[in-house]
Amino acid sequence: MKGMSVIVKTISRILAGFIFLYGSYIILHGHLTPGGGFAGGVIIAASFILLVLSFGAAEIKEKSSYTFSSIFESLGGLMFLILALLGLFAGTFFFTNIISKGAPLKLLSAGIIPLANIAIGMKVGAGLLSIFLALAASHYIMKE
């Protein structure tokens, strides 16, 4: 897969970071506004997919992107599991919200829910990115 023309490249250069920031905003405000880990994670994956599509699969270092996305996916899953186990370590149940709730309607509130959102976002984004790389990037799959 070759890259596209200079116009597409220039625009996607500017937009990819903005899309990443928007996805992060959706994840971090998941407990206050619509959105959350699922939506934000997919948006972050979309920002990387935009770069891959516009610059072409030959441009990216495929091996290291696979390694990165697997590391992030495992990290997300591990973080979610640790957050769930925190309640068990504190002497209550699995998935207890033990961190203080904070003031409502503020960004830093709701205990473990924002952290769990971040974990879910990392997991979903990295997982979908590696699925996309496997489906669309060329070298990994076939040598026709």
Partner 1 sequence: MIEIYLLVIAMLAAAIVAIEIKDLLASAVSMGIVGFSVAIMFILVQAPDLAIVQIVVEILTVVFFAATILRTTHTDTTIQKGIQREGIFPVIAFFIFGTLVTVLAIYALKDLPRFGMPIMKVAEHYIVHGLNQTGATNIVAAIILDYRGYDTFGEAVVLFTSVLGVLTILRVKGRK
Partner 2 sequence: MSQRLSYWILCLGLWLILTWTFYWGSLVIGIVLSLLATIIFGGYFSYHPIKILQPHRLLWFLIYIPVFGWLCLKANLDVAYRVIHPERPLKPGIVKIKTRLKTDLGRTMLANSITMTPGTMSVDIDDDILYIHWIWMRDTDLEKATKDIAGPFEKYLLKIFE
Partner 3 sequence: MIPFIGCILLIVIGLYGIITKRNLIKIAIGFCMVEYGVNLLFAFIGFKKDALAPIITSPNSPLNFVDPIPQALVLTAIVIGLGTTAVMLSLIIRIYQKYKTLDINEIRKLKG
The residues that touch partner 3, with contacts defined as CB under 8 A, are 32-34, 36, 38, 42, 104-105, 124, 127-128, 131, 134-135, 141-142
- Answer yes or no whether residue 45 interacts with partner 1 by CB under 8 A: yes
Question: How many Å apart are CA 45 and CA 66, to the nearest integer?
Answer: 13
For residue 8, the minimal CB distance to partner 2 (Å) is: 9
- Answer yes or no whether residue 31 interacts with partner 1 by CB under 8 A: yes
Question: How many Å apart are CA 89 and CA 44, to the nearest integer?
Answer: 32
- Answer yes or no whether residue 126 interacts with partner 2 by CB under 8 A: no
Question: How many Å apart are CA 38 and CA 141, to the nearest integer?
Answer: 28
For residue 47, the minimal CB distance to partner 2 (Å) is: 8
- Answer yes or no whether residue 38 interacts with partner 2 by CB under 8 A: no
For residue 136, the minimal CB distance to partner 3 (Å) is: 10
- Nearer of residues 16 and 137 to partner 2, judged by Cβ: 16
